[in-house]
Structure 1
Amino acid sequence: MTQTVTLENCESEPIHIPGLVQPHGALIAFDASTLSVTRLSANAAALLGATAPALGERLAPTHFMGDALVHETLHEVNDTPIAATEHSPVNVEVEVAGRLFDLVVHRMGYELIAEFEERSASADAVSDFALKAHRAMDRLKRQGSIDALLSLVVDTVHQLTGFDRVMAYRFRHDDSGDVVAERRHESLEPFLGRRYPASDIPAQARRLYVINTLRLIADVHSVPVALVVGDPGLPPLDMSYCTLRSVSPIHIEYLRNMGVGASMSISIVINGRLWGMLACHHRTALQVPYAVRMACDVLAQVLASNVQSLLSREQAARASDAASLRARMIESVLHAEDTFGALASLAGPLAAAFEAQAAVIAEQSRLHVEGEIPHETAAAVVQWLAVAKASDEIVTLHERASLPEHLQPLCGVWCGFLALRFDAIDNGWLLLARKEQIETINWGGKPEKHYVSGPLGPRLTPRGSFDIWKQTVSDTSVPWGAPEVEFAGQLRDELIRASAARNAETYKARTELIAVLGHDLRDPLQSISMAAKLLERSLPEGNTVGERLGQRIQSSSSRMGRLIGQVLDASRLQSGQGLQVQAVPMDIARLLEDAMDEALMAYPGSQIELQAPKSLAMVGDPDRMAQLIGNLVSNARHHGLPGEPVRVALEQEGNVVVLRVANTAPAIDAALVPELFSAFKRRIGPNERNKSGLGLGLHIAQAIVKSHNGSIAYSHVDGQVVFTVRIPQ
């Protein structure tokens, strides 16, 4: 039992073996070895007359009214080696039974297939069509763009064939098609600008469009004619290369729903792929002579060749532009103060180079957005990349479902992202963003137009087809192509090389600075400190001015010594050497009490509230723990509100020592929180109470905590800025 073809199973419909032909011609298949008839269309005798061979008959000189040209053509094709004739039709004009036919003959396996297609146009008219086609081919050579090429060919096919509508489709990455050029009768609705899903041309139909580049449906409302087979054991006839092959009922319904009476398609094939198509529609039946169709087919082949040349030229131009942009970027990065600023200045050209609607540059707490993507969305995507994709060189996605659930509603229409990390230390990202496809396509024509639907429903109408396309591409952007991913990799490599060059210069300068700090400054500072102490001792009793001067010199030299120590520690951390830690059993409560006494002596007038047990044992480095406490208390004193105390609390939670240092102050700006523990972090504005600070205290505090296998965290509770340290005992 033959299965009914529906929209659900049309992808597997065997359209190349329909066993039916269109009624405006007759088909006869011969056994190639004996030239006996193996099958023929049921209308063969009616069209070709009584002298047409019957099933099982061997070709005889009297068949086809003894027409010599028919017999010569059949024998010529049959006697030529199959490799030269299979899939390559030979066409001649013949007259049989008083009717003019285009005879088209080709080999298919063990059979010789002859198609007699009735023709009404005169030879003179066909010659005139050929001349017009030749002129059009000459004009094609002078077109400078793909749009101009398609427009010219649409005009020419419209003139040659007389179809009411001729459209040029250009297929995209997903095989959906845009109508990019159109010529139509003024009474017809325009289709220019519409897009249709890949499912409008199923895979098996797409294959046939590639191997048989021209297809005519002369009368949509005609009843197809069956092939009569002499031997029931014969396999179905492969009609892939037949001009009379009947049409899928689903495609017929689609055409009828649109009010089309006849149609013709001409494939534009580039590098073996269906790149585009010329689609012709007529409101009534229309049979275009075979020679005219072949002229259109040749025209399409010339078009394909020119399009391929222009595509190659465009690709070369894009490669040149990409190389130029890459050179500009590297020059800017090498001469700018930082990579972030250099990339931010080129965000627009970078977005254009990647055909993206937005570009985002992120580094530490800084974010530059180019395009319509919301700042909140850009920041959220970068944060997700920093956590989930930190080890990936290039990140690409074009479907909303590929994003984590919490980002999907936030991203809105933005669902295509290409990201590369250009700085691992400062969490630097370049992010390109694309909108979903349905946001970037304009609906051409009249979307409210009503179409008649057939038994299979509104799917087979232009509006229904477009709706299906919208469903297909919803929540997806145009995918990132291989050239774009390759270009992103090149940019990343260049940025890493530029960063390495800059880091080498920075390392050299830092090494020289450390040498100065470690030797050339520490010794003079020590001498200044000792001289200040001697000055205090040698002054007569009651010389308060001299005492204050000695104390000021000693205090300043001590502060400079601490700053030098912080820089040396930070340098060791950034060079990967780590802090030197010698862990021993110690009493952290006693150490904390001594540290608070020293702080009150160093800064008279300071208020410190301490809550701690009398004793609390742990294993740690006493000097580093004292440094940790000093940094946190100093940070709280500098940043707390004047007149408010610094609150220090120590307690034990299970086997963990917990230290909290709090000061009254507003919450830290959320944009600065991610880099609180970074070295030499940037500030929005100077801290008037800590003008001499380098921003290293929290960075070193975190390193000390980590070296003790602990953690440190910031929070804001009840108007208090709180830093909490947890270290295993």
Structure 2
Amino acid sequence: STMALLCDVLVKEVSELTGYDRVMVYKFHEDEHGEVISEYRTPDMEPYLGLHYPATDIPQASRFLFLKNRVRMICDCLATPVKVIQGKKWAQPLSLGGSILRAPHGCHALYMANMGSIASLVMAVTINEDEDEVKSDPSTGKRLWGLVVCHHTSSRFIPFPLRYACELLVQVFGIQINKEVELAAQIRESHILRIQTVLCDMLLRDSPVAIVTQSPNVMDLVKCDGAALYYKGQVWLLGITPTEEQIKNITQWLLKYHGSTKGLSTDSLMEAGYPGASELGDAVCGMAAVRISSKDVLFWFRSHTAKEIKWGGAKHDPVDSD
């Protein structure tokens, strides 16, 4: 709720400062798709709040540029681009990656026009700012958390002092978001350590069955829809899981094809090559499995992603060619 309040205050302030018809906070999820989590708009604008957009809507190259140049303004996506004339002595073309004046790519200009947006202002929200460079591990290096996106139905130019004020506001917002992200991570880590301690104590005092029959149990350790234990030929189930017979089949497949490892983690059993994946239905899709002995396995299961997600972006007819 603190994060939601921060977002709502930010979009209102940016809207009052700039006068754009629509201001949104666009958050990137772990799988890199985006979601509009806050919006301030004029009453005649179509609401985008709650819409999700595929990761391909904002390519990796664009995200990298946002880490280098945090503000991107397009005054009029329909304006004719003006070429940059370069001296002949320069062998390489001039990079406009850091320029506020560069014209939008033709595809992006068309995308904006199709949305009814002529002008835009986009500001990057970054976290882990104390890191000097972007690292391969997103949890430690500077990371693009999301974007503040402003749309206008007619051409609009925001002078530098006002843009700078907005950029400063977004930087302060990013600092607060960073604190919220760190606090959530600390709370989650503390919770996991506490559960781990209790479960380890159970294992020392009882058989492994205790971690699925008592409270807390293994489902409290991992975000999942169900868990199962295959121990000495018997199966214990918690939550939404395959049947006992299916658990035994998965165990046999796991020991046969992944017996040389301590376990397996996959977003999709179908993609992992499990032959019986189609028989599991919609209830079970992802799985994490850990061998606790040479023949005994602990499982966690997740169902398919919720089907109620509202997707935005381009609409495609199945019969249309790309």
Which of 389, 406, 411 is 2:258 aligned to? Answer: 389
What is the distance in 2 between the residues matched to 1:206 and 1:245? 16
TM-score by length of 1: 0.39
The answer to whether the Cα contact below 8 Å between 2:212 and 2:228 also exists between their aligned partners in 1 is no
Tell me the alpha carbon deviations over residues 473-510 of structure 1, each in whole angstroms, 9 at most, x when there is no partner.
xxxxxxxxxxxxxxxxxxxxxxxxxxxxxxxxxxxxxx
Q: Which residue of 2 is the match for residue 369 of structure 1?
A: 237
The alpha carbon displacement at 1:268 in A equals 0.9
**Inter-partner Cα distance in structure 2 for 1:356 and 1:181:** 27
Among 341, 351, 357, the alignment partner of 2:219 is 351
Corresponding residue for 1:217?
A: 74
- Gap regions ≥5 residues in structure 2: 129-141
Given that 1:168 and 1:279 are in contact with CA atoms closer than 8 Å, whether structure 2 keeps it comes out as yes
1:205 aligns with 2:62: yes
| One-letter amino acid of the structure 1 residue matched with residue 31 of structure 2 | D
1:499-578 to 2 correspondence within 5 Å? none
Q: Unaligned stretches of 5+ in structure 1?
A: 1-143, 448-460, 468-729
Query: 2:57 & 2:159 partners in 1: Cα distance?
Result: 27
Shift of 1:296: 1.2
Q: Work out which structure has the larger RCO, using CA pairs closer than 8 Å and 6 or more positions apart in sequence.
A: 2
Deviation at 1:326, TM superposition (A): 0.9
Q: What is the aligned partner in structure 1 of residue 135 from structure 2?
A: none
- RMSD over aligned Cα atoms: 2.5
Q: Give 3-state SS (helix, strand or coil) of 2:84's partner.
A: strand
- Which residue does the alignment assign to 1:435? 303
Identity of aligned residues (%): 27
Q: Report if aligned partners of 1:170, 1:277 keep a CA contact under 8 Å in 2.
A: yes
Deviation of the 1:232 alpha carbon: 7.0
Is the Cα contact below 8 Å between 2:269 and 2:287 reproduced in 1? no
Matched pairs, number: 302
Structure 1 residues 189, 364: closer, same or farther in 2, change over 3 A?
farther
Residue 312 of structure 1 corresponds to: 182
Deviations 1:236-273 (A, max 9, x none): 22222221111101101111111112111110122332
Secondary structure class of the residue paired with 1:442:
coil
Structure 1 counterpart of 2:36, which letter? Answer: V
Alignment partner of 1:192 is 2:192: no
Q: What is the match of residue 408 of structure 1?
A: 277
Contact kept? 2:124, 2:147, Cα under 8 Å: yes
The one-letter amino acid paired with 1:295 is: A
Offset of residue 185 of structure 1: 2.1
Cα distance, 1:151–1:381 mapped onto 2, change above 3 Å: farther
Which deviations, in whole Å up to 9, do the C-alpha atoms of 1:199-235 show, x marking residues without a partner?
2122221221111101111112222222234547553
SS at match of 2:209: helix
TM-score by length of 2: 0.84
Query: Tell me, what secondary structure is at the counterpart of 2:6?
Result: helix
Structure-2 change in CA distance of 1:378 and 1:282 (3 Å): farther
Distance 1:191 1:148, change over 3 A: same
Q: Judging by fraction of residues, say which structure has more helix.
A: 1
- Name 1:627's counterpart in structure 2: none
Matches within 5 A, 1:297-308: 297-308=167-178
Please give the per-residue CA displacement for 1:392-419, whole angstroms capped at 9, x wherever unaligned. 2132122344433522212334332111
- Provide the residue aligned with 1:329 in structure 2: 199
1:289 maps to 2:159: yes
One of 126, 140, 145 as aligned partner of 1:269: 126
**C-alpha separation between the residues in 2 aligned to 1:253 and 1:282?**
15
* CA offsets 1:561-614 (integer angstroms, 9 cap, x no match): xxxxxxxxxxxxxxxxxxxxxxxxxxxxxxxxxxxxxxxxxxxxxxxxxxxxxx
CA contact (8 A) 1:369 1:378 kept: no
Quote the Cα distance in structure 2 between the aligned partners of 1:269 and 1:390: 41
- CA contact 1:398–1:415 (8 Å) conserved in 2: yes
- Superposed displacement of residue 168, structure 1: 1.2
For the pair 1:418 / 2:288, whether they are aligned, the reply is yes
- Structure 1 residues 405, 359: closer, same or farther in 2, change over 3 A? closer
Residue 187 to residue 369, structure 1, CA distance change in 2 (3 Å): farther
Q: 1:148: how far off?
A: 2.8
> Does the CA contact (< 8 Å) of 1:194 and 1:442 recur in 2?
no
Q: If you compute each CA radius of gyration, which structure gives the higher value, 1 or 2?
A: 1
Question: Is residue 2:149 matched to residue 1:279?
Answer: yes
1:404–1:246 Cα change, 3 Å: closer
Give the superposition deviation at 1:377.
Answer: 4.1
Contact 1:351–1:359 (CA under 8 A) maintained in structure 2: yes
Tell me which amino acid in the other structure corresponds to 2:107. Answer: I
3-state SS of paired residue (2:124)? strand
